[in-house]
Amino acid sequence: MNRVYNFSAGPAMLPTTVIERAQAEMPDWNGSGMSVMEMSHRGSEFMSIAEHAEAALREIMEIPSNYRVLFLQGGATTQFAAVPMNLLRGKDSADYLLTGMWGKKAVAEAGRYCEVNLAADSSAQNFMEIPAPDAWSLDADAAYVHYTPNETIGGVEFHWIPDTGDVPLVADMSSTILSRPVSVERYGVIYAGAQKNVGPAGLTLLVVREDLIGDAIADTPTILNYQVQADSASMFNTPPTYSWYMAGLVFDWVREQGGLRAMAEVNKRKADKLYEAIDESDFYSNPVRPDCRSWMNVPFTVGDGSRDDVFLAAANEAGLLALKGHRLVGGMRASIYNAMPEEGVDALVDFMREFEKNNG
Ligand SMILES: *Cc1c(COP(=O)(O)O)cnc(C)c1O
């Protein structure tokens, strides 16, 4: 086996031990004589897998008992619509903090269901920073405040939780969930597509405070109604069973690593090493304001950009894959989620220094 260091933004690396355990359990899960993907989602075997995953997630995220955990489909993108449908609760506007491209998509979708107030907007700064909270225009009567704690494309991350008073805070945590401890009780809703830090694509996690459920707008498709999903334990229809099982293995792995505190320690160290390598060179650069730099996604430019293809080819050769930046911003992007080992970041930093020596 020859596993590469895969810096893809998503679907992303999974821990090798998780892949190996899934491989070992694939043909015959726990003496059932079948693989998890062949099981009825209503059978006792899969029910135990589903319950185990939820219990493990509740434990590592310390999710209070007045929150429901849903295992859904449709990706974070589906939640861009489902959030207003479920959370407007008779109100007609919602606040959005806009700090990047994913937030922009959430805003566009919400605009189909309600009035969107851009309470903060860093588009004029090219999404390189988070506007200071004292300049935000939050509306005390908004149905909720939505933000993107980590903008995956721009590499901009909140290292603190916005204070929205009594207005429920909604977070698209797709690219930062499980990367550090989080005070779930500060949130109304947390949602995340699984394919970055949780497991294979196809699964969407949703953590929602119980009192916010049950007042979806009349035209909400049944499948998107949080009440229906909560009442059916996320089995209103066939859930993404294999991704759910894999997520459970990843939750076990996070717990074995020492939980979210341990993940945060390693993640911060990985990010610090990479930003330090970028900052100490005149060849590489990262445009994000230092206090908003992401621990998970590190975009950077290589010289004047003319040797990007050479950089990528040489990186591939060295077993460092998927470093090409998002098509909207160009350059490079190293996504260094939980499953990227610290050695992978060390190898990237060594490679970058060597490349600069020969090309800088
Ligand atoms: C990847 C990503 C999305 C899109 O997720 P899908 O599951 O593909 O819909 C949305 N928001 C953020 C912050 C992301 O990183």
- Choose among 312, 352, 350: nearest CA to 330: 312
E strand intervals along the chain: 5-6, 67-72, 93-98, 115-121, 145-147, 150-151, 156-157, 169-172, 189-193, 204-209, 284-285, 297-302, 320-321, 332-335
Residue type, 50: A
Cα 7 to ligand 1 centroid, rounded to whole Å = 16
141 and 121 Cβ atoms separated by less than 8 Å: no
Q: Tell me the CATH class for 258-359.
A: alpha beta
Ligand 1: nearest atom to the Cα of 75: 7
pLDDT in tens, 119-178: 999 999 999 999 999 999 999 999 999 999 999 999 999 999 999 999 999 999 999 999
Matching CATH number, 16-256, of 3.40.50.2000, 3.40.50.300, 3.40.630.30, 3.40.640.10: 3.40.640.10
Active site annotation includes 160: no
The answer to whether the CB of 164 is under 6 A from ligand 1 is no
Annotated catalytic residue within 29, 102, 253, 295: 102
Q: Atom 2 in ligand 1: which residue has the minimum CA distance?
A: 174
154 and 288 Cβ atoms separated by less than 8 Å: yes
Active site annotation includes 268: no
Q: Atom 8 in ligand 1: which residue has the minimum CA distance?
A: 75
Active site annotation includes 172: yes
The answer to whether the CB of 193 is under 6 A from ligand 1 is yes
pLDDT in tens, 221-246: 999 999 999 999 999 999 999 999 99
Instruction: Provide the residue ranges of all domains of the chain, joining segments of one domain with +.
Output: 16-256, 258-359
Query: Going residue by residue through the chain (360 aa), what tens digit of pLDDT does each one get?
Result: 789 999 999 999 999 999 999 999 999 999 999 999 999 999 999 999 999 999 999 999 999 999 999 999 999 999 999 999 999 999 999 999 999 999 999 999 999 999 999 999 999 999 999 999 999 999 999 999 999 999 999 999 999 999 999 999 999 999 999 999 999 999 999 999 999 999 999 999 999 999 999 999 999 999 999 999 999 999 999 999 999 999 999 999 999 999 999 999 999 999 999 999 999 999 999 999 999 999 999 999 999 999 999 999 999 999 999 999 998 888 999 999 999 999 999 999 999 999 999 997
Cα 83 to ligand 1 centroid, rounded to whole Å = 14
The answer to whether the CB of 154 is under 6 A from ligand 1 is no
Q: Atom 10 in ligand 1: which residue has the minimum CA distance?
A: 76
